[in-house]
Structure 1
């Protein structure tokens, strides 16, 4: 079977099942798993699919609109937030950007935590506003409605005057070579400014986003201080990040 025919078959399977597994495609198409991995890599680079551990998923499984993302992989995001909440210590200056996982983190911060948190996320700011001891500073600017975050020069200018202890970066895609990548250019520029303003960088990412790539590069993987995932710490899928010296929770 020609490569284009294999690609068409894979895309047809995704349209009906939303997810495909490498070993199943190998059996169905009677080719090696290495061939399927190359096919999936090419389709991902073309933006047709999203690679995940052991296969690929449809773009519809990683929705772009905030309202859809609120319910997508909700239990996994709660697990990430529970793992990450202990990373914030008393009297730290923290930056939390957009993403529904950061909202779950904001919900779970201890009531006796004293910290200053900057955020450009409307839902995160609303959640933090109810915390008795956290000083919440909202970074105003143009609202990117799909993501419920502020973007633009106003946000970037304020971030240029901050040196935070730690930031929690909403992560749409993470790959061991390109690092964290994003689908929106304006949001990418803000995330880069957040990185420049932070000593430590925490990326909280569900399994399906690992190994996927978006058009715009935010940072190389070595810039990440701590990677919080739903996988076991010693999972082979995380080996490249472990070997870089990234802390894995």
Structure 2
């Protein structure tokens, strides 16, 4: 088996299982474990996976700051935001997570229905300065990377709310490891908002798929639905659709 063939198969295993165990792959390929470990080292150097003891995991996505993220996939994010806004019904309370994709929901909110928007992000609240919706901004310690409030004070304030819809933002999605983000406290706040909400929907741009960030938020099956770009290949979405049949393409 050629090296390039092995590496392609290793990536297939990584996407399917969420991890690669060097000993098991060596047995399956009838090769030495040293050969597989060498492949994994080379693939890690190429940024294709993350080496761990005994094997490999999917790479963690980079975490550019909030200002840098504003210019990434802006047209796609606008489509996702419009699709999310179309799900909202009159007189509902929605909770908008922080982030540049959820900011697009705020920009697409209808102006002709009674609506309450809760958020722990001052940047999201600012998007609604001239919108007629009632806005509830919860406080807490500001996590500047994502421009959201975290910590005990934020959790206590969110506990007083019962949103109909929570639009969740994450940095990575994987069929085995679920939805994840890069900060422990931010992940805890996201889980708490989801517990307080009747439904949680997650918006995902294509570059977030098949990756794992350090801090788990929710499993794919634990959210009410995924909102994804319409150009996503069906075969790439299949493992996610098997876990959650409610996928909206935008």
Q: Which bin holds the TM-score, normalised by the shorter protein?
A: 0.7 to 0.9
Task: Indicate the residue corresponding to 1:175 in structure 2.
Answer: 174
Is residue 83 of structure 1 aligned with residue 83 of structure 2? yes
- Cα 1:233–1:63 change in 2 (3 A) is closer
Task: Indicate the residue corresponding to 2:96 in structure 1.
Answer: 96
Task: Indicate the residue corresponding to 2:197 in structure 1.
Answer: 198
Alpha-carbon distance in structure 1 between the residues aligned to 2:247 and 2:111 = 26
TM-score normalised by L of structure 2: 0.77
Is residue 221 of structure 1 aligned with residue 220 of structure 2? yes
Is residue 144 of structure 1 aligned with residue 166 of structure 2? no
Task: Indicate the residue corresponding to 1:187 in structure 2.
Answer: 186
Is residue 33 of structure 1 aligned with residue 8 of structure 2? yes
Q: Deviations over 1:128-187 (max 9, x none)?
A: 22102x110001111111111111111101122222111000121111122111100111
Higher-Rg structure is 2
Q: Deviations over 1:186-209 (max 9, x none)?
A: 111110111111111110000110
State the aligned residue count.
215
Is residue 72 of structure 1 aligned with residue 104 of structure 2? no
Deviation at 1:240, TM superposition (A): 2.3
Alpha-carbon distance in structure 1 between the residues aligned to 2:104 and 2:11 = 36
Is residue 153 of structure 1 aligned with residue 167 of structure 2? no
Alpha-carbon distance in structure 2 between the residues aligned to 1:147 and 1:103 = 12
- Is contact 1:202-1:224 (8 Å) kept? yes
Deviation at 1:86, TM superposition (A): 0.6
Q: Counterpart of 2:211 in 1: which secondary structure?
A: coil
Q: What do you get for the CA RMSD once the two structures are aligned? A: 2.6
Q: Deviations over 1:88-119 (max 9, x none)?
A: 11101111111100111101111113211110
- Is contact 2:225-2:244 (8 Å) kept? no
- Is contact 1:64-1:147 (8 Å) kept? no
In structure 2, runs of 5+ residues without a counterpart are: 21-43
Q: Counterpart of 1:87 in 2: which secondary structure?
A: coil
Q: Counterpart of 1:174 in 2: which secondary structure?
A: strand
- Is contact 1:224-1:246 (8 Å) kept? no
Task: Indicate the residue corresponding to 1:164 in structure 2.
Answer: 163
Q: Counterpart of 2:179 in 1: which secondary structure?
A: strand
- Cα 1:151–1:190 change in 2 (3 A) is same
Alpha-carbon distance in structure 2 between the residues aligned to 1:154 and 1:32 = 47
Deviation at 1:233, TM superposition (A): 7.6
Q: Deviations over 1:34-69 (max 9, x none)?
A: 13445786554549x996xxxx8x95xx54310111
- Cα 1:36–1:178 change in 2 (3 A) is closer
Alpha-carbon distance in structure 2 between the residues aligned to 1:100 and 1:46 = 30
